Amino acid sequence: MGLMERLRNGTKYIVIILIVSFGLIWVLADVDFFGAMNAGPNKLGKVNGDDITLEEYNQRVQYYNNLYVQQTGSSMTPEISALYEQQVWDELVNSRLIEQKMDALGITVTDSELLDMVYGDNPDPIIVQNFSRQDGTIDRASIDQMLTNPDFSQQAIALDLQLRQKRRQEKLTNFIAAGVQVTDEQIEAEYFKQNSFADIAFVRLPFGEISNDEVTITDKDLRNYYNSNKEQYKVEENYRARIVSFSFLPTAEDTAEIFEEVRELKPDFAAETEDSLFLLRQQSSTPYSAAFVNKEDVREEYKAVLDLNTGEITNPFLNGSQVSMIKKLDEKGDEIKFVVFSRLIEALPATIRDADEAARDFQLFADEETDFETEAERAGKTMDEIFATKGNSFISGLGNSQQVLSFLEKADEGDISRVIELGTDFVVVQLLQKNKEGYRPFDEVQTQIETLVRLEKKKELTAQKAADIVASNTDMAAIANAAGYELQTTESVAANAVFLDGAGREPKVIGAIFTLEENDISGPIQGNAAVYIIQVTSKQTPNLENLTDAEKDQIRTQLEGEINQKFGAIWLEELKKEADIIDNRNLLIQS
């Protein structure tokens, strides 16, 4: 059978298939199937199945943005915005984890507990803050009105939720704290540390006095150290990248234009009678200040005001990173009063726009037309390498940047970032290498290990030398003479101190001091940089019978606070490790 005949016989089947296919397409289009396919995830993230919505994320970011503007009077920079965005994400994840844990523990707040928070003898601080009269008493009538009047139903619901949530978290905090017990022995030990002092004489034998020639190191020594201390060489996920920068520092033309702007304001400044308002309206970078000062105390850069008559103004002059002019207000005897108006020297919009356009052109061509290296060469730009570690916004070769870190954490090798604004530069970044969490290989850290092993062997040799000296001599003067070092003394060493006069930071040595009896001579005590031989010449320790109940409570509260702070952070970190956290920020929020 010929090809054309087979096609004619199969036509009816082809028509049926096409009709069914077009019908299916119409149905899928009618329910926006393809739109849903292209849309990707519609939630910003999930924590153990609980959604984090884009709406609540944006609302909280906006809250911080508004708060920042209120507190600083200026808008956030892109870098500050990136820091707050990361903070908001962490807060939303943490709040989900805490809520889930409270649910799992069955922590609830009953209506009677809520009523006690509102009407009890000790109302919650939220009630005190919002419903107190001027005399400090609670206005219960106002509370009743808000809780019963339909016009205040939304406020009543919000107050109910706020109080219940606060009480739940207090219960959770108490639950966590219940697992942290401060014993009487711990309290007594802390009391002892806070009230114990000693006078000592000591000889200090530095490790560095042992020469390298006296130390023998084998490959087995290095391998054994690496295997025994492998956790020291554990590294988080890290990134190697390269970066091209486009500066928008103010140009000479920008500076000249700002000089001219300030010069044009000189007549208005001279005519102004309310100088504080003038500085405010013109957004002076030097705040208003007008007080008499002695002429001899006038700063060098302001000396020109001494040659002015009252009411006159200096010509604009360069004052650090700003352009300033000074108005003389008054003079009496050896004192003078003046006010300074300044404007910061900043890149003008055209300069910023040119740098931004150059960076965007570079990013576009590097990403779509050529490649990063070729485009950098074509643009006459230097590529710098940077190195970053997951979770650490300090980037070697660049400085702090949450924006760059966020890109590196989400990117794949070879990806090129959008244009990122950093201080006075626009930058474009390419991720070269992403290394997963793991251990640095032995060959990579061998030199570092060799230094540490050599130090350990020097410590051993120094300690043995000290032990031999102590065994052969009976008093500190003879020990110092045999060691070849000065006999040092220090008084009133506190048991809770960490620094030893004449020796530096030596907490282990200070701890050992208070295990000695008066006049006892210690054996070798290994410190951070030396071995010590110590004699306690006088020691003052407290009598535990003098420990009052009030002091016990104070120390208990102090220790509980310290332990709870550490334990709470560890507890939350463990929740995160065990949680199933899905992060869709790179899909729903433009990097």
Distance CA(538)–CA(197), nearest Å, equals: 8
139 Cβ contact list (under 8 Å, min separation 6)? 131, 132, 133
Residue 518 has pLDDT above 90, yes or no: yes
Closest CA to 463 of 225, 206, 224: 206
Distance CA(578)–CA(172), nearest Å, equals: 19
Domain 252-344, what architecture?
A: 2-Layer Sandwich (3.30)
| Percent of the chain scoring above 90 in pLDDT | 58
Give 40's pLDDT tier (boundaries 50, 70, 90): low
Domain 196-217+445-541 sits in CATH at 3.10.50
**Cα 573 from chain centroid?**
16
Residue 107 has pLDDT above 70, yes or no: yes
Closest CA to 513 of 207, 182, 192, 210: 192
**Cα 219 from chain centroid?**
40
Distance CA(464)–CA(457), nearest Å, equals: 11
Q: How many helices and strands in the chain, by DSSP H and E?
A: 21, 21
Pull the structure tokens for residue 445: 């850290």
Q: What is the mean pLDDT of residues 92-114?
A: 87
- Cβ–Cβ < 8 Å for 239, 435: yes
Q: What is the mean pLDDT of residues 29-39?
A: 45
Q: What local confidence, expressed as pLDDT, does residue 38 receive?
A: 47
Closest CA to 337 of 371, 297, 367: 297
Q: What local confidence, expressed as pLDDT, does residue 590 receive?
A: 58
Residue 536 has pLDDT above 90, yes or no: yes
Q: How many CA atoms lie within 13 A of 167 on its CB side?
A: 21
Give 586's pLDDT tier (boundaries 50, 70, 90): confident
Q: What is the mean pLDDT of residues 193-206?
A: 94
- Cβ–Cβ < 8 Å for 375, 365: yes
Cα distances from 65 to residues 75, 92, 242, 400, 586, in angstroms, run 8, 17, 31, 20, 21
CATH 1.10.3080.10 fits 237-246+349-436, yes or no: no
- The amino acid that residue 555 corresponds to is I
- Cβ–Cβ < 8 Å for 490, 200: yes
Q: What is the mean pLDDT of residues 29-37?
A: 45
Ordered DSSP codes for 340-366: EEEEE----HHHHHHHHHHHHHHHHHH
Q: What local confidence, expressed as pLDDT, does residue 23 receive?
A: 45
Q: What local confidence, expressed as pLDDT, does residue 27 receive?
A: 43
Residue 349: how many other CB atoms lie within 10 Å: 9
Exposed / middle / buried, residue 18 (Cβ in 10 Å: 0-12, 13-18, 19+): exposed
Closest CA to 586 of 75, 45, 52, 219: 45
Q: Which of 135-139, 152-156, 344-348, 422-426 has the lowest mean pLDDT?
A: 152-156
- Chain segment 7-25, per-residue pLDDT in tens: 345 444 444 443 444 444 4
Q: What local confidence, expressed as pLDDT, does residue 573 receive?
A: 85
First to last CA, the chain: 61
**Higher pLDDT pick, 165 / 34:** 165
Q: Which of 29-43, 315-329, 459-473 has the lowest mean pLDDT?
A: 29-43
Phi/psi of residue 489, nearest 5 degrees: -130, 150
Residue 342: strand pairing partners: 324
Cα distances from 351 to residues 30, 63, 318, 357, in angstroms, run 50, 32, 20, 10
Any idea which residue has 């890290």 for tokens? 238
> What does the radius of gyration of the chain's CA atoms come to, in whole angstroms?
36
Domain ranges of the chain: 3-39, 111-178, 196-217+445-541, 237-246+349-436, 252-344
Q: What local confidence, expressed as pLDDT, does residue 132 receive?
A: 85
- The amino acid that residue 312 corresponds to is E
Give 101's pLDDT tier (boundaries 50, 70, 90): confident
Q: What local confidence, expressed as pLDDT, does residue 455 receive?
A: 94
What mean pLDDT is reported for the chain? 87
Q: What local confidence, expressed as pLDDT, does residue 303 receive?
A: 92
- Chain segment 211-263, per-residue pLDDT in tens: 999 999 999 999 999 999 999 999 899 999 999 999 999 999 999 999 999 99
Q: What local confidence, expressed as pLDDT, does residue 163 receive?
A: 85
Q: What local confidence, expressed as pLDDT, does residue 179 receive?
A: 67
Give 540's pLDDT tier (boundaries 50, 70, 90): very high
Q: Is pTM, for the whole model, over 0.75?
A: no
Give 565's pLDDT tier (boundaries 50, 70, 90): confident
- Residue 47 parent element (H or E): strand 45-47
- Cβ–Cβ < 8 Å for 359, 269: no
- Chain segment 354-410, per-residue pLDDT in tens: 999 999 999 999 988 788 999 999 999 999 999 999 989 999 999 999 999 999 999
Q: What local confidence, expressed as pLDDT, does residue 568 receive?
A: 75
| Percent of the chain scoring above 70 in pLDDT | 92
Distance CA(118)–CA(140), nearest Å, equals: 9
- Chain segment 161-189, per-residue pLDDT in tens: 888 888 888 888 777 777 677 888 999 98
DSSP H helices in 402-546: 402-410, 442-472, 476-483, 507-513
Q: What local confidence, expressed as pLDDT, does residue 591 receive?
A: 45
- Cβ–Cβ < 8 Å for 459, 531: yes
Q: What is the mean pLDDT of residues 277-294?
A: 92
